[in-house]
A = this chain, B = another copy of it.
Amino acid sequence: MHTHILLDHGSGGLASQRLIKDIFVRHLDNALLSSLNDAACLEMSGPVAMSTDTFTVTPLFFPGGDIGSLAVHGTVNDVAMIGAVPRYMSCGFILEEGLELEVLDRIVASMAGAASRAGVQVVTGDTKVVPRGAVDQVFINTTGLGEIRTTNLPQGNRARPGDIVLVNGSMGDHGLTILAQREGLRFQTPVQSDSAAVHNLAHKLIQKIEDVHVLRDPTRGGLATTVKEIAEQSKVSITLDEWNIPVNPGVQEGCSFLGLDPLFLANEGKMICIVPEDKAEQALGIMQADEHGVRARAIGRVSDGHPGQVVLNTAIGGTRLVHMLEGEQLPRIC
């Protein structure tokens, strides 16, 4: 009947119930969600991994994804990075009065598709509607739960001298795509977000390699900031070889044009994997055999140099120290 979100849709009354039934339950349907109790009751075995992320990306739809699928991928990946198998998610929507119902419907449908492909269920949710101007269209929080089935979990403080640093593909695609969309820029080589759930690849690595030391997804702040964090947490030095770091031609082109560094741009379907040297080749093979790791590369090495230091051997033969992102290159990328 209505075509836009009204304040009534957040009242907790009749209009809220209709919205929940017509959009959320329709797309995300499962027995746990449909019971519509205040909380979902979940059977889980062993220790539980919990991670939360809020998504405020603008524009809502972009080449390679949208806020709905991104909200699933981001949380699934965070849960997977500590070695857990993602199982359940909650979602909390904040909607702006006046948002088109058709837009919300597309977002929730995309979320449902991403959850289904990733093998996770959205089991509980919440919807708030705020007056026009109190939020920009729609923000989504997702909180994920995973089952931890192994010991010897990867952690940010487990990088050891001699270890090899791997990535599963090109850097900076998500960040540059959002920026280009927002500024209306087009490059000769089109760019698109790498938004994807990479938990299956993470699971394979952990199962087959056994002593994966670190897994981390280089989202906000990009590869550079995340590697710097790992170096600090592990109290080691990490050297990266710039010429081995995959960057797509469109991203390279856009970064040159805009004066940005792809190593500081966000990724949403990438992981940094640090393993002992004698396992690096096997890990690289596992990555390259996965749909989300075809362009995986070894990009650097851990040493016992200055603790917390990250050195980049540049493509033109120099070296420079890598610092964390200082200041914001681009807000609202995720």
Residue numbers of A with Cβ under 8 A of B are 6-8, 10-17, 35-44, 47-56, 58, 77-79, 81-82, 84, 88, 90-94, 123-126, 128-131, 133-136, 139, 141, 143-146, 148, 153, 155-156, 216-217, 219-221, 225, 233, 266, 323-329, 331-332, 334
The binding surface of chain A is classed by DSSP as mixed
> B10 touching A328 by the CB < 8 A rule?
yes
Cα of A176 to Cα of B196 in the assembled complex, Å: 45
Cα of A15 to Cα of B329 in the assembled complex, Å: 13
- Additional A-B contacts beyond A8-B328, A50-B143 (14; CB < 8 A): A7-B331, A10-B328, A10-B331, A11-B221, A12-B219, A13-B325, A14-B325, A38-B217, A42-B49, A42-B50, A56-B94, A94-B94, A134-B136, A141-B141
> B56 touching A14 by the CB < 8 A rule?
no
> B324 touching A48 by the CB < 8 A rule?
no
Cα of A328 to Cα of B12 in the assembled complex, Å: 9
Cα of A53 to Cα of B141 in the assembled complex, Å: 10
Give A32 Cβ to nearest chain B Cβ, in Å.
9
11 A-B contacts (beta carbon < 8 Å) = A7-B331, A11-B327, A11-B328, A12-B221, A13-B328, A38-B81, A42-B48, A53-B92, A130-B136, A133-B133, A141-B141
> A220 touching B52 by the CB < 8 A rule?
no
Copies in the complex: 2
> A56 touching B155 by the CB < 8 A rule?
no
Cα of A148 to Cα of B130 in the assembled complex, Å: 34
Please give, as numbers and ranges, the residues of chain B lying within 8 Å of A156 by CB-CB distance. Answer: 36-37
Cα of A67 to Cα of B323 in the assembled complex, Å: 36
Please give, as numbers and ranges, the residues of chain B lying within 8 Å of A332 by CB-CB distance. Answer: 128, 130-131, 134
> B41 touching A49 by the CB < 8 A rule?
yes
Which B residue's beta carbon lies closest to that of A153? B41
Q: A39-B78, A51-B124 are in contact. Are A90 and B143 (CB under 8 A)?
A: yes
Cα of A40 to Cα of B84 in the assembled complex, Å: 10
> B139 touching A135 by the CB < 8 A rule?
yes
Please give, as numbers and ranges, the residues of chain B lying within 8 Å of A148 by CB-CB distance. Answer: 41
Please give, as numbers and ranges, the residues of chain B lying within 8 Å of A334 by CB-CB distance. Answer: 128
> A42 touching B47 by the CB < 8 A rule?
yes
Give A199 Cβ to nearest chain B Cβ, in Å.
12
Cα of A135 to Cα of B233 in the assembled complex, Å: 33
Greatest chain B CB density within 10 A among A10, A54, A58, A146 is at: A54
Cα of A90 to Cα of B233 in the assembled complex, Å: 22
> B82 touching A37 by the CB < 8 A rule?
yes
Q: A41-B47, A325-B13 are in contact. Are A94 and B53 (CB under 8 A)?
A: no
